């Protein structure tokens, strides 16, 4: 695991965009898994600003709430579409979704796992750090071999997700997430961390040791995981 400290959120966005662009130069049909949430938005906007050609990239949705339609403001597919797919011109056929309104979530997770296997695993995972150390919606405790599955969100995640949606929309309590096994199987992982509110949890991730109670701590066991963190998240030297 390597730590790439950067000064600002803007620098974080540029460094992350450089690494995504590099992955696509190396392999135009790279398989990427991309988080929603606020942290990667700058990197996605930077890729759009550069008019990055997404080539034949395949993009996997990292997670999604259960029982939410595509036109619902809580849809994480909708979020990904607005932030990344539409601005970069990534066609629906290039995207592997976790359909949030599926009547059969277990079958949806199995289909997703099969699509990831069919793609030969992921070349790059672009992730954010949850307030409790979750990756995707792999809530503590999540072992490193956890499969793609239906999960119940923790109180911390429900609290932080509350800020994303209009007050009239309750935060869904159940979700589907790419499993730790798939995430840790990605050939390269970028964990983007920004802002003072992530400082304490980032410190725990950096201090280790790996434990299911802090899923992001397993990045220490990965051979090409990068944590790109800004000064506000890292705190005083």
Q: In this structure, what token pair is assigned to residue 64?
A: 């999604």
* Catalytically annotated residue among 15, 81, 132, 230: 132
Q: Look up 81 and say whether it is catalytic.
A: no
Contact by Cβ (8 Å): 133, 198: no
Judged by beta carbon, residue 128 or residue 144, the one nearer ligand F6R is 128
- Contact pick of 54, 78, 105, 130 for ligand F6R (by CB under 6 A): 130
Interaction between residue 36 and ligand F6R (CB under 6 A): yes
Contact 177, 168 (CB under 8 A): no
Is 134 considered catalytic here?
yes
Residue number with CB closer to ligand F6R (12 or 129): 129
Specify whether 63 is catalytic.
Answer: yes
Task: Say which of 46, 63, 81, 123 is annotated catalytic.
Answer: 63
Give the sheet arrangement for strand 188-193, strand by strand. Answer: 2-6, 225-230, 188-193, 124-128, 31-34, 58-61, 95-96
- Which residue number places its CB atom closest to ligand F6R? 128
Residue 38 touches ligand F6R, criterion: CB under 6 A: yes
| 48 or 56: CB nearest ligand F6R | 48
Asked if 35 touches ligand F6R (CB under 6 A), the answer is: yes
Site for ligand F6R in 215-234 (CB under 6 A): none
Binding mask 47-86 for ligand F6R (x = CB under 6 A): ---------------xx------------x----------
Whose CA is closest to 144, among 62, 63, 203, 219? Answer: 219
3-state secondary structure of 32: strand
Residue 128 binds to ligand F6R (criterion: CB under 6 A): yes
134 binds ligand F6R (CB under 6 A): yes
Nearer to ligand F6R, 30 or 65 (CB): 65
Q: Are 235 and 12 in contact (CB under 8 A)?
A: no
What string of DSSP letters covers 135-191? Answer: BTTBPSS--TTPPSEEEEPPHHHHHHHHTTS-TTSPPPSEEEE--HHHHHHSSEEEE
Q: Could you tell me which residues are beta bridge partners of residue 95?
A: 59
180 binds ligand F6R (CB under 6 A): no
* Rounded distance between C-alpha atoms, residue 27 and residue 57, angstroms: 8
Cα(77)–Cα(80) distance, rounded to whole angstroms? 5
Assess whether 138 carries a catalytic annotation.
no
**What positions carry a catalytic annotation?**
63, 132, 134, 139
Contact positions vs ligand F6R (CB under 6 A): 35-39, 62-63, 76, 128-130, 134, 136-137
């Amino acid at each position: 695991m390597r730590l790439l400290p950067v000064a600002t959120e803007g620098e974080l966005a540029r460094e992350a965009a450089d690494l995504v662009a590099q992955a696509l130069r190396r392999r135009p049909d790279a398989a990427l898994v991309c988080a929603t949430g606020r942290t990667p938005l700058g990197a996605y906007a930077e890729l759009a600003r550069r008019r990055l050609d997404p080539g034949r990239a395949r993009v996997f949705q990292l997670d999604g709430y259960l029982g939410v339609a595509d036109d619902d403001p809580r849809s994480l597919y909708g979020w990904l579409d607005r932030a990344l797919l539409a601005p970069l011109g990534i066609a629906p056929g290039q995207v592997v979704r976790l359909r949030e309104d599926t009547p059969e979530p277990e079958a949806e997770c199995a289909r997703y796992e099969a699509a990831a296997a069919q793609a030969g695993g992921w070349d790059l995972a672009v992730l954010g750090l949850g307030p409790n150390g979750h990756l995707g919606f792999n809530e503590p405790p999540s072992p490193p071999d956890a499969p793609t599955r239906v999960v119940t969100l923790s109180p911390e995640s429900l609290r932080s997700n509350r800020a994303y949606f209009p007050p009239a929309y309750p935060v869904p309590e159940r979700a589907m997430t790419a499993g730790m096994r798939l995430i840790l199987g990605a050939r390269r992982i970028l964990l983007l961390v920004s802002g003072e509110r992530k400082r304490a949890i980032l410190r725990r991730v950096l201090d280790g040791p790996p434990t299911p109670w802090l899923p992001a701590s397993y990045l220490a066991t990965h051979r090409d995981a990068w944590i790109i963190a800004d000064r506000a998240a890292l705190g005083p030297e």
